[in-house]
Each structure stands twice: as C-alpha cells, then as structure tokens.
Amino acid sequence: MCGIIGLAGATVSARDDGVAAAMLATLAHRGPDGAGLVCRDGCHLGVRRLAIIDPSASSEPFANETGGVTAVCNGQIYNSVELRRELEASGHVFRTEVDTEVIVHLWEEHGPDLVQRLNGMFAFALWDDRKRTLLLGRDRAGQKPLFYWHDGQQVVFASELRALLTHPGVRPELDPLALVRYLAHGFVPAPLSPLSGIRKLPAAHTLTFREGRSELHRYWDLAEWFPEPGARDARSAAAIASELDERMALAVRRRARSHVPLGVFLSGGIDSASVLSYLADESGVGIPAFSIGHADRSFDESRFAAETARYFGADLKTLILDRSDLEEGLERVGAEMDEPLADASTIPTYLLSRLARASVTVVLSGEGGDELFGGYPTYLGHRLADRLLRLPAPLRRGVVAGARKLAPVTMGNVGLDYLLERFVSSLESDRLARHHSWFGCVAPDRLRGLLAPAVVAGLEEGDLAGPFARATARGNPPEGLAELLYTDFVLYLQDDLLTKVDRASMLVSLEARAPFLDHELAQFAAGIPEGLKIRGLTTKAILRRAVRSRVPASVLRRRKRGFNIPFSRWVLHGLGEQLRERFSRERVEARGLFSHSAVRDLLDEHMSQKADHRKPLFALLALDLWCDRTFGDGGHVPVGPAGASASPPAVRPDQPVEVTP
C-alpha cells in the first residue's frame, strides 16, 4: 500500500466523506491497484494500494477481529511473516497475508510501542474507535513520507502535500523559514514543510492524537549506536567484515519478499553491486537490472553498470539520456514534484524508475551505504581542511590562490574546479557548518541578498546568520566522523535522497526498497570503529572488505562519481535562455520571494562561465516549478509565519511532549 490519507478529531463526521475521497483521489499514482476508504464519526482513513504482497486481497483499510481498530500503511513491513506467526500463536486471527494487517494486532498487544517491533519502511495511521485515539508512525530512516496539519480540533494527514491541499481548512502559504532552509540545503528538513502550518512527521517518530491533544514521540535514534569517543573494539576487522556480510545478506533477503516482479537499480558503484550480489544468491542469474547512461561521456557510468551486470548474469536494461530525455523528465518532474527539491538527479531517477516499471513493480537500491560506511569524498575533504588550517594564514591563502588558478571553470561532472571552489568557500567555517556548505546549495553569504525584503522581514536574524538546520540527537551527540555520518543520515539522506527516490519512483507506481537501511544493519554499521570505515584515502573500507569476494575487483577500486546530469552545460546551451524568461523582472517581482538583480547575477556569472552555479540555479528552477503547481503559473506566493507549527521541541523517548497547533 503506497498512499494514505486521514482526518481525525471531534469535528470529523460523515459530512467529511467527500473531503476524504477528494484527498485520496490525488494519490492515485502511488497506488493504482485499488482504493479503500473507511469513514466514521471521529476518523476517516483512506488508502491507495500498490499490490505487492497478496495482490488478490482487498484494498480496504485493515481492521482487527471486532472492527474497532483500523490501520492504513504506506510502505512495507519486512518482518510481517515472523510477526504474524507470533500474533497467531497469541490467538489473533488474520484475513490476508498483507503486511499492514499485523499493525492492528500489534496495537492490541503493545499499544504505541508496536513501532519497536516493525522492521520496514513505513508511514502508517491507526485508529482505535473505543479509545478515540489516532496513532501516526514513520519508519526509522524516513523512507516513506507523512505530512500533517493540526488546527486544535482535528489532525489531517497524507502521504503527500497535494492531498492536504484539497482540504478546505488548509491554506497554502509559504513558510519563509522553510524557504531559507531549502535554499541553504537544497531540501526542506523535517519537521518543516514548504508550507506554513503543515509539518512532516520526522523519521523514527510517532504522533498520538486524542481529545484534541497531540504528543510527538521519538522512538529510535541512530546516535545511540555509535561508539563512545575513545572506546576500543576488541573485534578484529575480519570478524566485523564477516558479520557485516551476514547482516547484508539478511537485509536483502527480507527486501526480496514480493509476490510481483522485482529487480534492482544498478549504477557503476559498490553499493548497488553489493545489493545485486546478495540478490543473486537468492535468485541466480537473469535478475532484472536497470541503469542510466548519458550521451555526455563525463557523466556516463553505463559501461561500469554493464560490467557488473555481466559478472552476475543480470538482465540489464539501460537508458542513454540525451537532451530531449532531460527536457521531458524536467517537464514531468517539475509539474508533479510534491515539494521543491534542489537535486537535479531527480530527473534521471524518474526516467530510471519509468524504465524499470515497464518490467517490474519493486526494485532494490543502494541508498544509505555512503552515510553508514563513510562513502562521500567530503569526509576526506575535512581531513585535508584540518591540515590546511594548521598552516599560517598567509601561506594558506597562497596555497588556495595557486590552486584556484590551476582549476579553470569547466562545467563538467564534479570537476576539480567545482570541487575546489566549494572546498575553499567554506574552508575556515567550523566543521559542521563547512560540511553543510559543501553539501548545500546557496552560500550563506549570498542568501540575504537573494531574498526579497518582505521575506527577510518575516525572519529572525539567526535564521539568516545560521541558515543550516542541525541534526539533534536525543542523547549525547556523536563526535568526529560519527557526527558527520549522523548528520548526513538524519538530514541529507532522509530529506533529499529518500525524498527524491520516493517521489520519482511513486510517480510511476514503482516501489523502491533500500537494504542498507534495515535498522538492524544500520545499528551494526554505526558501531563499527571509524578507522575501519575510512582508511587513508579509502572510503567505505570495511564494506569493500566485506564484499571483496562478491563483486568485481574493478568495482572495489572505482571512485565515487555521484548520480548527476550535465545541468551546468544544459544551462549554457539552451536552458539558460528559458531561465532568463522564467526569471524575468516581471515574474520574479510578481512572485515576491527574491531580488531580481541577485537572481540575474547568478545566471549571468554562470552563462559567462565565471562560476559554476548549477546548484543554486537548479534550486531556483525547482522551486519556481513547484510554485507554478501550488500557487499558479507565475502567480504571487503568499508567505505565512516563519516556522509556524512546524518546529516542536526536542522530544525524549521517556517524555512525550504535547504539540500545540
């Protein structure tokens, strides 16, 4: 089941049936195989179904034996078979094999703590008619989305913003704090959403709503699984690699459960190759695999994916993208993306998903490997930065100036010029701010000048001085490399990469599963000493060791390239003129969000090849396309209060906090 909606509260009654039905209709792309809606006084629950387990089962929300407890779920519970056996042994009766059904019976046994028993990717809603209680829950990594709006009388929730906007009580107003966070990061971090008054339920949280009051509860935190600073690990590297191999095999085996065709997304890297290797253990040769290539060779990894596919005997289908494919992808993604996302790889992810959906309904992917095992080159960049900062300031400035002269602007795929400019621009910031800036979008020193005065007026000074969100642990925050890994897991992975994969795949009704994000595997990975994750200049060292007998040697040696498109060159050769029209003075001033001169300067500098502004330009384009969809083509964007009802206080697991609207 892949799309859910609901309304709960004392004011919800039969007269809201039409509202619930209209909300559900907006999510047909997430679940084309059926729809179900249960409406009663106090709560309406709806679901759109993508049939994967027990396809012949009903698409209705699932209830317990008495009908007093009802649940809907977006995603998959991978340990549902084992949970079902336990529950049946306790006397519970099941009607189907659908995994959602275990949730209602777990509620009867464990109450809100049922989430602790779930292994999966999920966003669910459960209503207990006798207790007049609504429980919302989201998986530990945030693979499946859930938005909600609370007016003090009722809670309205849905898998996507578009469904909430059909509710007559929800007024679309842009949250200026969310706008700042979006421009800084390239995504809107939870619990903010782009719209004032609408929240994202954060990953690893539940929300309980009863008698007009809501409590937000954090039930899991990866930070608790990192070693204490200075702690020694008695395990050998060989023993850790061996256990990692076993845990990876189990994670893939769990995610290979499907009653419909299943395949794998395949790039040229170690993460997807590892997933394919374990899947081949289960299924042998002929596994459907899907890859993207580019006509621009500097962005093309299709030959590496083909090499891996041959090694495992996979049935590989590859789409080589040219300019017309990118234009088509941008048109579809721009029109349908449910929230702004400044990640240009959303376009090829959508095209890859469409390619896969022609053959399969489920794919396995490699998300999470970099954040758990230290795969990003930025982790090595911090080591270099720390060494440079030990040099006397005059010498350091000379080194930087000399390096810049050796790296002219090329507009290539993460070329030396692009990497160096981002490296130098934040070199002297504190470690975490530097890390955010390297991953980020609009530089903090350019942010204020980009925003229209009316938007700035609605913000506090600190919002602009420190535009990046910070990942907060409920206990002691990790330190060193662990802090960076945790930050990327909680922010970049959850609100960029997983959002991208969910929206792009769901546009074509494809379910994407990520074995690396099995929470038991993630906990184990967090506990691995950081010296085994990055050794010298080798990233993901322990993962490479764990799979070195499984994947081709060339995969182990290959450096990370990223999943990119030639957007910089696309702007130079065709798209730039479209951007000039889209960001004309008349349109920018009509929107009311930005300074036209600041936007023009970004585009002029890029078009003259003085700088590569691929990230801020795509961020502005993605936002403007989303504004067209949400507020009308070129129309004015109303701005609401900054952070309104969207930033609840930190929540300890033993101290649920009442969240007021």
Kindly state whether residues 214 and 290 are assigned to the same domain: no
Q: Prior bond to 191 cis, omega within 30?
A: yes
User: Would you say residue 427 has pLDDT above 80?
Assistant: no
Kindly state whether residues 163 and 33 are assigned to the same domain: yes
Rounded to whole angstroms, how far apart are CA atoms 94 and 84?
8
- Nearest CA-CA partner of 4 in 204, 157, 150, 128: 157
Of the pLDDT bands very low, low, confident and very high (cuts 50, 70, 90), residue 650 is very low
Kindly state whether residues 36 and 128 are assigned to the same domain: yes
155-171 pLDDT tens trace: 999 999 999 999 999 99
Tell me, yes or no, whether 24 lies in a domain.
yes
Is residue 396 classed as helix, strand or coil in its secondary structure?
A: helix
Rounded to an integer, the average pLDDT of 227-239 is 90
Q: Where are the beta strands (DSSP E) in 56-187?
A: 62-63, 69-77, 120-128, 133-138, 147-150, 154-158
pLDDT of residue 449: 95
103-149 pLDDT tens trace: 999 999 999 999 999 999 999 999 999 999 999 999 999 999 999 99
Rounded to whole angstroms, how far apart are CA atoms 597 and 220?
46
Kindly state whether residues 519 and 631 are assigned to the same domain: no
User: Would you say residue 648 has pLDDT above 60?
Assistant: no
Q: What is the mean pLDDT of the chain?
A: 90
483-493 pLDDT tens trace: 999 999 999 99
Kindly state whether residues 238 and 212 are assigned to the same domain: no
User: Would you say residue 656 has pLDDT above 50?
Assistant: no
- Report for 130-139, 300-309, 407-416, 419-428: range of highest mean pLDDT: 130-139
Segment 36-41 long-range contacts (CB within 8 Å, at least 24 positions apart): 36/60, 36/61, 36/72, 37/61, 38/63, 38/70, 39/14, 40/129, 41/12, 41/13, 41/14
Of the pLDDT bands very low, low, confident and very high (cuts 50, 70, 90), residue 657 is very low
Kindly state whether residues 572 and 544 are assigned to the same domain: no
The secondary structure of 482-535 as a DSSP string is HHHHHHIIIIIIIIIIHHHHHHHHHTTT-EEE-GGG-HHHHHHHHTS-GGGT-B
Give the predicted TM-score (pTM) of the model: 0.94
Provide the 10 A C-beta neighbour count for residue 654. Answer: 7
What is the side-by-side order of every strand in the sheet holding 43-48? Answer: 35-40, 43-48, 3-9, 154-158, 147-150, 198-200
Q: Domain boundary residue among 150, 185, 220?
A: 220
Count how many residues are written for the chain: 661
pLDDT of residue 341: 97
Q: Which residues of 336-365 are buried (b: 16+ CB within 10 A; e: fewer)?
A: bbbbbbbbbbbbbbbbbbbbbbeebbbbbb
Kindly state whether residues 109 and 257 are assigned to the same domain: no
Q: Domain boundary residue among 557, 588, 610?
A: 557
Q: Which residues of 283-311 are buried (b: 16+ CB within 10 A; e: fewer)?
A: beeebbbbbbbbebeebbbbebbbebbeb
Of the pLDDT bands very low, low, confident and very high (cuts 50, 70, 90), residue 299 is confident
Of the pLDDT bands very low, low, confident and very high (cuts 50, 70, 90), residue 320 is very high
Please say whether the beta carbons of 139 and 103 come within 8 A: no
User: Would you say residue 296 has pLDDT above 60?
Assistant: yes
Q: What are phi and psi of 527, to 5 degrees?
A: -80, -5
**For the chain, percent of residues with pLDDT exceeding 90:** 72
**35 is in which domain, residue-wise?**
3-174+195-220
Element (H, E) at 208: strand 205-210
Kindly state whether residues 364 and 258 are assigned to the same domain: yes
Rounded to an integer, the average pLDDT of 514-541 is 96
Tell me, yes or no, whether 404 lies in a domain.
no
User: Would you say residue 521 has pLDDT above 90?
Assistant: yes
Look at 135-149, 190-204, 285-299, 570-584 and tell me which has the smallest mean pLDDT. 285-299
Kindly state whether residues 94 and 204 are assigned to the same domain: yes
Q: What are phi and psi of 512, to 5 degrees?
A: -110, 125
- Nearest CA-CA partner of 204 in 124, 254, 142: 142
Kindly report the CATH number assigned to the domain that includes residue 67: 3.60.20.10
pLDDT of residue 646: 40
The secondary structure of 56-89 as a DSSP string is TS--SPEE-TTS-EEEEEEEEETTHHHHHHHHHH
DSSP annotation of 135 = E
**Token pair of 391, please?**
């040099």
Provide the 10 A C-beta neighbour count for residue 574. Answer: 11
Please say whether the beta carbons of 467 and 448 come within 8 A: no
Look at 46-50, 422-426, 438-442, 596-600 and tell me which has the smallest mean pLDDT. 422-426
- Per the structure, the count of domains in the chain is 3
Kindly report the CATH number assigned to the domain that includes residue 530: 3.40.50.620
pLDDT of residue 316: 97
Tell me, yes or no, whether 240 lies in a domain.
yes
Tell me, yes or no, whether 210 lies in a domain.
yes
Of the pLDDT bands very low, low, confident and very high (cuts 50, 70, 90), residue 421 is low
Tell me, yes or no, whether 13 lies in a domain.
yes
Q: Domain boundary residue among 557, 583, 611?
A: 557
Of the pLDDT bands very low, low, confident and very high (cuts 50, 70, 90), residue 102 is very high
User: Would you say residue 264 has pLDDT above 50?
Assistant: yes
Kindly state whether residues 271 and 134 are assigned to the same domain: no
Q: What are phi and psi of 315, to 5 degrees?
A: -90, 95
Rounded to whole angstroms, how far apart are CA atoms 374 and 382?
12
Rounded to an integer, the average pLDDT of 216-245 is 94
- Name the burial class of residue 322, with classes exposed (0-12), middle (13-18) and buried (19+) by CB atoms within 10 angstroms of its CB: exposed
Please say whether the beta carbons of 443 and 437 come within 8 A: yes
Kindly state whether residues 147 and 61 are assigned to the same domain: yes
User: Would you say residue 462 has pLDDT above 90?
Assistant: no
Of the pLDDT bands very low, low, confident and very high (cuts 50, 70, 90), residue 1 is low
Tell me, yes or no, whether 233 lies in a domain.
yes
326-373 pLDDT tens trace: 999 999 998 899 999 999 999 999 999 999 999 999 999 999 999 999
Of the pLDDT bands very low, low, confident and very high (cuts 50, 70, 90), residue 660 is very low
User: Would you say residue 659 has pLDDT above 50?
Assistant: no
**Token pair of 113, please?**
């703590």
Tell me, yes or no, whether 423 lies in a domain.
no
pLDDT of residue 644: 57
More confident residue, 399 or 14: 14
Of the pLDDT bands very low, low, confident and very high (cuts 50, 70, 90), residue 661 is very low
Is residue 641 classed as helix, strand or coil in its secondary structure?
A: coil
Q: Which residue has the tokens 């469409």?
A: 354
176-221 pLDDT tens trace: 999 999 999 999 999 999 999 999 999 999 999 998 899 999 999 9
Element (H, E) at 17: helix 17-25
Tell me, yes or no, whether 55 lies in a domain.
yes
Element (H, E) at 184: helix 176-185
Look at 49-58, 253-262, 263-272 and tell me which has the smallest mean pLDDT. 49-58
- Name the burial class of residue 207, with classes exposed (0-12), middle (13-18) and buried (19+) by CB atoms within 10 angstroms of its CB: buried
Is residue 261 classed as helix, strand or coil in its secondary structure?
A: coil
User: Would you say residue 381 has pLDDT above 50?
Assistant: yes
**Token pair of 487, please?**
């930050």
The residues, any chain, with a CB within 8 Å of residue 597's CB and separated by 6 or more, are none
Kindly state whether residues 510 and 593 are assigned to the same domain: no
**Token pair of 614, please?**
């691929």
Please say whether the beta carbons of 505 and 348 come within 8 A: no
Please say whether the beta carbons of 318 and 293 come within 8 A: yes
Q: Which residue has the tokens 């792009």?
A: 504
pLDDT of residue 647: 39
The helix-helix angle for 431-439 and 416-425 (nearest 10°) equals: 150
Give alpha helix (H) positions in 389-460: 393-405, 416-425, 431-439, 444-450, 453-457
